[in-house]
Structure 1
Amino acid sequence: MEAKSSQDEYNQVKKDLQQLREDLATLTKAVSDGQKSNISSLRDEIRRESQEAFDQVRQKGNDAFNRARDAGDKAVHDVEHKIEERPFLSIVLMFLAGVLVGKLLDR
């Protein structure tokens, strides 16, 4: 009778160990899946934030380019207006500037 009781206990321990292995495998799979989900959501968040930062930088670059282009257009318009106001003085100044640059380049 004692041998049968020991055999029953051995079989019960064997079943418990098998159940423990299965539970451990299930737990490991659940943790792994959870980590994969966390990594995936973190990757998506990083991708979204980097896209937002890129869009902001691009918008600031476009704004700076537009301001520079507008300032250049205004400067050209102002010069054209000054030349139209005083054409003879503009020709004389350009001639003197050319002579000055020529003298500087001769040296």
Structure 2
Amino acid sequence: MEAKSTQDDYNKVKQDLQELREDLSKLTRSVSESQKSNISSLRDEIRRESQEAYDQVKQKGDQALHRAKDAGDKAVHEVEHKIEERPFLSILIMFLAGILVGKLLDR
């Protein structure tokens, strides 16, 4: 009778181990699928945030370029206005600047 009890215990442990393997396999599959889902949503979130950052940088760059263009246009307009106000003085200043540059290049 003791041999039968030992055999029954052995079979019970064997069955428990088989159930444990199956449960572990299911758990592994479940964790794997969950991680795939998490990775997918993390990738989508990173893609969305990087697109938002790119859009913000592009918008700020466009604004800076527009401000620089406006400042350049304003400076050119002011120089043109000064030349129109005093054309003789402007020609004289350009002539003197040319002589100065010529002397510097002769050295």
Which TM-score applies when normalising by structure 2?
0.85
* 1:5, distance to aligned residue in structure 2 (A): 4.3
- What's the counterpart of residue 98 of structure 1? 98
Show CA shifts across 1:37-89 (max 9, x none): 22222222222222222222121111111111110000111111111112121
Bigger drift between 45-54 and 64-73 goes to 45-54
- What's the counterpart of residue 89 of structure 1? 89
Q: State percent identity of aligned pairs.
A: 79
Matches within 5 A, 1:5-84: 5-84=5-84
Equivalent pairs, count: 107
* 1:22, distance to aligned residue in structure 2 (A): 0.7
- Which amino acid letter does the alignment assign opposite residue 57 of structure 1? V
Can you give the 5+ residue segments of structure 1 that lack an aligned partner in the other structure? none
